[in-house]
Protein backbone atom coordinates (compact mmCIF):
# COMPACT_ATOMS: atom_id res chain seq x y z
CA UNK A 1 0.00 0.00 0.00
CA UNK A 2 1.05 3.58 -0.54
CA UNK A 3 0.52 6.42 1.93
CA UNK A 4 -2.11 7.78 -0.47
CA UNK A 5 -4.59 4.95 0.16
CA UNK A 6 -3.36 3.83 3.58
CA UNK A 7 -5.91 5.92 5.47
CA UNK A 8 -8.83 4.33 3.60
CA UNK A 9 -7.37 0.88 4.22
CA UNK A 10 -6.97 1.49 7.98
CA UNK A 11 -10.40 3.05 8.42
CA UNK A 12 -12.06 0.42 6.23
CA UNK A 13 -11.60 -2.46 8.69
CA UNK A 14 -13.19 -3.26 12.06
CA UNK A 15 -10.01 -4.32 13.86
CA UNK A 16 -6.26 -3.89 13.77
CA UNK A 17 -3.88 -6.37 15.42
CA UNK A 18 -0.18 -5.58 15.71
CA UNK A 19 2.17 -8.48 16.30
CA UNK A 20 5.63 -8.70 17.73
CA UNK A 21 8.63 -6.88 16.35
CA UNK A 22 10.96 -3.96 16.81
CA UNK A 23 8.82 -1.24 18.39
CA UNK A 24 11.28 1.55 17.64
CA UNK A 25 11.50 0.71 13.94
CA UNK A 26 7.77 0.07 13.70
CA UNK A 27 6.84 3.46 15.17
CA UNK A 28 9.39 5.26 12.98
CA UNK A 29 7.86 3.78 9.84
CA UNK A 30 4.33 4.46 11.07
CA UNK A 31 5.18 8.10 11.71
CA UNK A 32 6.92 8.45 8.35
CA UNK A 33 3.80 7.22 6.54
CA UNK A 34 1.31 8.96 8.90
CA UNK A 35 -0.03 5.56 9.95
CA UNK A 36 0.03 6.78 13.57
CA UNK A 37 -2.45 9.51 12.60
CA UNK A 38 -4.72 7.03 10.79
CA UNK A 39 -4.59 4.56 13.68
CA UNK A 40 -5.61 7.33 16.11
CA UNK A 41 -8.55 8.18 13.82
CA UNK A 42 -9.47 4.49 13.75
CA UNK A 43 -9.28 4.22 17.54
CA UNK A 44 -11.30 7.40 18.06
CA UNK A 45 -13.98 6.07 15.70
CA UNK A 46 -14.33 2.81 17.65
CA UNK A 47 -12.21 0.47 15.58
CA UNK A 48 -10.69 -2.18 17.85
CA UNK A 49 -6.90 -2.02 18.21
CA UNK A 50 -4.87 -4.81 19.76
CA UNK A 51 -1.57 -6.52 19.77
CA UNK A 52 1.10 -8.53 21.50
CA UNK A 53 4.54 -7.46 22.68
CA UNK A 54 5.45 -4.45 20.49
CA UNK A 55 1.79 -4.45 19.52
CA UNK A 56 0.88 -3.94 23.17
CA UNK A 57 3.26 -1.20 24.27
CA UNK A 58 2.77 0.86 21.10
CA UNK A 59 -0.68 2.10 22.22
CA UNK A 60 0.53 3.44 25.61
CA UNK A 61 2.40 6.64 26.52
CA UNK A 62 5.50 4.50 26.90
CA UNK A 63 6.83 1.04 27.50
CA UNK A 64 9.74 -1.29 28.07
CA UNK A 65 11.45 -2.32 24.86
CA UNK A 66 14.31 -4.45 23.63
CA UNK A 67 14.29 -2.58 20.30
CA UNK A 68 17.66 -0.99 21.02
CA UNK A 69 20.81 -3.09 21.39
CA UNK A 70 21.89 -3.50 25.01
CA UNK A 71 19.77 -3.44 28.13
CA UNK A 72 16.00 -3.00 28.09
CA UNK A 73 15.06 0.65 27.70
CA UNK A 74 12.13 2.97 28.24
CA UNK A 75 10.47 4.17 25.07
CA UNK A 76 7.85 6.80 24.33
CA UNK A 77 5.01 5.39 22.23
CA UNK A 78 1.75 6.59 20.64
CA UNK A 79 -0.01 7.75 23.80
CA UNK A 80 -3.51 6.49 23.00
CA UNK A 81 -3.60 4.83 26.43
CA UNK A 82 -2.29 6.64 29.50
CA UNK A 83 0.67 5.31 31.43
CA UNK A 84 3.18 2.68 30.52
CA UNK A 85 3.16 -1.00 29.60
CA UNK A 86 5.52 -3.94 29.91
CA UNK A 87 4.84 -7.25 28.13
CA UNK A 88 6.58 -10.59 28.88
CA UNK A 89 6.58 -9.76 32.59
CA UNK A 90 6.90 -13.38 33.68
CA UNK A 91 8.88 -14.92 30.85
CA UNK A 92 11.89 -12.67 30.29
CA UNK A 93 14.05 -12.54 33.39
CA UNK A 94 15.07 -8.87 33.09
CA UNK A 95 11.60 -7.45 32.35
CA UNK A 96 10.29 -7.30 35.93
CA UNK A 97 13.34 -5.67 37.56
CA UNK A 98 13.86 -3.32 34.61
CA UNK A 99 10.25 -2.12 34.59
CA UNK A 100 10.25 -1.67 38.37
CA UNK A 101 13.46 0.39 38.12
CA UNK A 102 12.13 2.52 35.24
CA UNK A 103 8.95 3.31 37.19
CA UNK A 104 10.90 4.04 40.40
CA UNK A 105 13.31 6.37 38.58
CA UNK A 106 10.55 8.14 36.65
CA UNK A 107 11.81 6.98 33.25
CA UNK A 108 8.29 5.60 32.69
CA UNK A 109 5.00 6.66 34.23
CA UNK A 110 2.86 4.33 36.35
CA UNK A 111 1.50 1.49 34.29
CA UNK A 112 0.46 -2.09 33.69
CA UNK A 113 2.65 -5.14 33.11
CA UNK A 114 1.30 -8.34 31.59
CA UNK A 115 2.51 -11.90 31.87
CA UNK A 116 2.62 -13.88 28.64
CA UNK A 117 -0.86 -15.05 27.63
CA UNK A 118 -2.59 -12.06 29.26
CA UNK A 119 -4.82 -9.61 27.39
CA UNK A 120 -5.66 -6.16 28.73
CA UNK A 121 -9.08 -5.07 27.50
CA UNK A 122 -9.58 -1.32 27.44
CA UNK A 123 -12.73 0.57 26.57
CA UNK A 124 -11.55 4.02 25.63
CA UNK A 125 -8.76 4.66 28.13
CA UNK A 126 -10.27 2.58 30.97
CA UNK A 127 -9.01 -0.90 31.77
CA UNK A 128 -12.22 -2.98 31.84
CA UNK A 129 -11.02 -6.57 32.14
CA UNK A 130 -7.99 -8.78 32.17
CA UNK A 131 -8.16 -12.23 30.61
CA UNK A 132 -5.64 -14.99 30.10
CA UNK A 133 -5.07 -18.06 27.99
CA UNK A 134 -2.79 -19.44 30.72
CA UNK A 135 -4.14 -20.52 34.12
CA UNK A 136 -1.60 -18.76 36.37
CA UNK A 137 -0.91 -15.63 34.35
CA UNK A 138 -1.68 -12.17 35.74
CA UNK A 139 -1.32 -8.51 35.08
CA UNK A 140 0.41 -6.12 37.46
CA UNK A 141 -0.18 -2.45 38.28
CA UNK A 142 3.03 -0.56 38.98
CA UNK A 143 3.00 2.80 40.70
CA UNK A 144 5.83 5.05 41.75
CA UNK A 145 6.05 5.70 45.50
CA UNK A 146 8.96 7.92 46.42
CA UNK A 147 12.03 6.26 44.99
CA UNK A 148 10.55 2.82 44.53
CA UNK A 149 7.84 1.09 42.54
CA UNK A 150 4.88 -0.60 44.19
CA UNK A 151 3.64 -3.67 42.36
CA UNK A 152 0.05 -4.88 42.78
CA UNK A 153 -1.20 -8.14 41.25
CA UNK A 154 -4.29 -7.79 39.06
CA UNK A 155 -5.74 -11.28 38.58
CA UNK A 156 -6.75 -12.34 35.12
CA UNK A 157 -9.82 -14.37 34.29
CA UNK A 158 -8.62 -17.65 32.82
CA UNK A 159 -10.51 -18.38 29.60
CA UNK A 160 -9.58 -22.04 29.33
CA UNK A 161 -10.97 -25.12 30.98
CA UNK A 162 -9.59 -25.93 34.42
CA UNK A 163 -8.78 -29.56 34.95
Catalytic residue among 53, 84, 132, 138: 53
Are the C-beta atoms of 87 and 62 separated by less than 8 Å? no
Output the CA torsion sign for 67, 148, 82, 113: positive
Beta bridge partners of 118: 132
13 is catalytic: no
Catalytic residue among 67, 88, 98, 138: 88
53 is catalytic: yes
Q: Which residues contact 20 (CB under 8 A, 6 or more apart)?
A: 52, 53, 54, 55
Catalytic residue set? 53, 88
Amino acid sequence: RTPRDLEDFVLGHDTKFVGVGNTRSMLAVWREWSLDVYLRKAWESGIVLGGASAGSICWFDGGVTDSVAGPLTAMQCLGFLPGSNCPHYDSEILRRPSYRRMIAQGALTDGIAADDGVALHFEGTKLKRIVSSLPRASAWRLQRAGRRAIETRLPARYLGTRR
